[in-house]
Every structure is written in C-alpha cells, then in structure tokens.
Chains A and B, each alone.
Chain A
C-alpha cells in the first residue's frame, strides 16, 4: 500500500480517475484509508461473487450445467 508522501493520493487518482475533482479535497491519510476500504470491499465482493457462481452452477438443472460451466469458465 502507498506510504510515501503523495503516493496514496496518486494511487487513488489512478483508480478513480484524475478528473474526479473532489479528490483534491482529501488529505493523504484519507486517500490511504479510502484505498484500503476500496480494496477490502473489492476483495469481499469478488469472493462473494465467485462463491455464489459456484453455488448457482451446482444447483442448475443437470441438462444446462455443463454448457453453463463452459460459458462461465471456458
């Protein structure tokens, strides 16, 4: 995670877009904290999505299970 002065602000701008004006009002610690929160929620949502996909594919009618797996995982 960014820890040099200005690193967190630059990293947040890279993630959210340099055109987002409100980022200019955030302090460096606030940028670092937001980066952590975004990473945490991103990771939690990815895990939840992956787990649900597995669950759903397992419960689909047998006939469509194989083609469904192929579509989702190639």
Chain B
C-alpha cells in the first residue's frame, strides 16, 4: 500500500522542516517519490550550508577525548544540534564513531536520530556494529518512531539488518518499520536477507490488529511475486476461516482492496482457493468493491487468479467483468 510509504515521507518532510505533519499534508499529492526528492534536497541544502561549521568541528575533534565528547553532548548539546553534527563528525573521524556512540545513552541516541544527515548514515553504517544501535532501535520502537527507524533500514548493511532484526524485541514494531521502507527493491532485499523463520514471526504479527494487517499487506504487495507467495502462505496458515473473513472485512473497511488484490496476484493456489471460498469475499457487494478496485488500478491479475477458483454466481459475475476489461486492457 503505497499510501503508508507516502505518509511516512510526509512525516519525514515535516520533521526536516520542523513543522507539524498537518502543515504539509496538502503536499501528499506529490506522492512518495516526489516528497522524498523534495525532502532530501531541502535536507541536503540545510546541511551543506553548515558545512564550514562542521569542518571546524572536525578540526576540533582530535583535541577532545571520546569520553568528554559523549559526556558533554548528553549534558548540554540538544539532540537537534548533536544529530546534525554527528554525521559530519562521524565521517571525519570514522575510527571514533563506534566508541562515542557506545558511550551515549540509547535515549539520547534516539532523540538525535531524526536529525542525522542521511547521506552520512550511508557512509557510517558499515562501521557501526549492531549491538551499538540495537538499544537505540528498541527505544525508537518504544516511542513508535517507526518513520525514523525505517530510514536506518534503508541504509543498513546486511550484517546490520540481521543484527537489528535479532535485537529488536518488538516484532510488530519491526513490521511497521519495514512497511515504511520506501523502495520496493530495497524492501525485497531486506526480506531476503533475513532467515525465513524470522520473517514468518514478523508476518504472523500482522493478524493481531487491523493496523498491523495493513502494514503486512503493504509489505507483501510490494515484494517480488515468489517471495510474496511464500510469505502469503505463512499469513494464510495463521488464519482459520473466521480469521480470513476478518482480514477481508478489515481490507474492505480500510479501503485496501487493491492491496489485497496485488497480494492475490502472487499467491499460491492453496491460498487462492481459500480466498475464493470465503463467503464474505464472494458476497456480491464485496465482490463489486473488489471489481471496482481492480478497475480503478486497471490491474486485473489478482482477480483473474482468484476467479480461477470461484464457482457459481460469483465466478460468472467476475468473469463477465474480466471479459469487459480484457479488450479495454489490450
């Protein structure tokens, strides 16, 4: 569900501008890519304007021992300043980043995280072991700061991704965070990095609330088909028939039929058969809604795949619409 990703970019733009998300809400129409390019450029310009100060701070760094840097920072440097300076200092003094970060409290690190220059995170990430970042990541989960946590996943090395997954105890928070990773390619890469049984634990958390289900569907809908099919099996295995009805009902309530259809396009036959046999989904009113979603997206593959397992009146209704759509699509 691209909306989740767009909303995350909107929050990040608001953080960059230090305003409330509502003040930039009207820019949601720019989409996730547009918002990201705007935010990144604003952030780059603001950081580059302070490059001279950061360069002088770098010259100052050799004079001050690590312990003093950590102690002074936490005592008197506000997170906004520490976050903004940290990237430049870390890149200029890569050998010290790990030692200084280790001396800082997870709370302070989490405070500073939203203000980091993302360009420097990409450079620094390979030098920081997961055990240094895991306590701060858990603090971000505790604060529900999933948007900030998500861009760490964007830049994390494979070792760091594995370490963060292992160390983050809030798996539902990890699902919400993963759902906010902007690029589908990167999302696929992250999921492939993790052992399948660990991903299964994360996916299973999706059935515990409507909000988590939306996050789970968002992840599945953006994965490559074979990966989505495998994880779809994991999700469906978690659901009895009533549970599946609840999922479809939630999808309808959340206006996310398009996302479920995107997932359906990749599902294995057994999961498709269960979807097609669900009485709530095959109710004419619900089917109508799914037909409308497919028409709006002009993407009929999900419905086509479900229709292979439909019987009776629902099969006729969908086949009729597919027949009408096919010439238009060709």
Q: Do A and B bind each other?
A: yes
Binding site for B on A (CB under 8 A): 15-17, 20-23, 25-26, 30, 34, 37-38, 40-42, 44-46, 48-49, 52-53, 55-56, 59-61, 64, 67-68, 71-72
**CB nearest neighbor in B for A29:** B26
A-B residue pairs, 3 tightest by C-beta: A22-B34, A52-B81, A64-B63
**CB nearest neighbor in A for B16:** A41
CA distance A55 to B78 in the complex (A): 11
CA distance A55 to B82 in the complex (A): 13
**CB nearest neighbor in A for B59:** A71
Please tell me the number of chain B residues within 8 Å of chain A, measured between CB atoms. Answer: 37
Which B residues are CB-close (under 8 A) to A26?
27
Asked if B270 is at the interface (CB within 8 A of a chain A CB), the reply is no
Which A residues are CB-close (under 8 A) to B26?
30
Q: Once the chains bind, are A56 and B46 in contact (CB under 8 Å)?
A: no
Asked if B93 is at the interface (CB within 8 A of a chain A CB), the reply is no
A interface, by DSSP: helix, strand, loop or mixed? helix
Q: Once the chains bind, are A40 and B81 in contact (CB under 8 Å)?
A: no
Residues 37-65 (chain B) with a chain A CB within 8 angstroms: 37-38, 41-42, 45-46, 49-50, 53, 56-57, 59-60, 63-64
Q: Which of B17, B30, B59, B77 contacts A38 (CB 8 A)?
A: B17
Q: Once the chains bind, are A41 and B46 in contact (CB under 8 Å)?
A: yes
Which A residues are CB-close (under 8 A) to B50?
45-46, 49
Binding site for A on B (CB under 8 A): 16-19, 23-24, 26-27, 29-30, 34-35, 37-38, 41-42, 45-46, 49-50, 53, 56-57, 59-60, 63-64, 68, 72, 75-78, 80-81, 84-85
Q: Once the chains bind, are B80 and A48 in contact (CB under 8 Å)?
A: yes
Known interface pairs A37-B17, A56-B77, A60-B64; A21-B37 also in contact (CB < 8 Å): yes
**CB nearest neighbor in A for B75:** A59
CA distance A25 to B29 in the complex (A): 9
Known interface pairs A16-B42, A49-B84; A67-B63 also in contact (CB < 8 Å): yes
In the assembled complex, the CB of B45 is this many whole angstroms from the nearest CB of chain A, namely 6
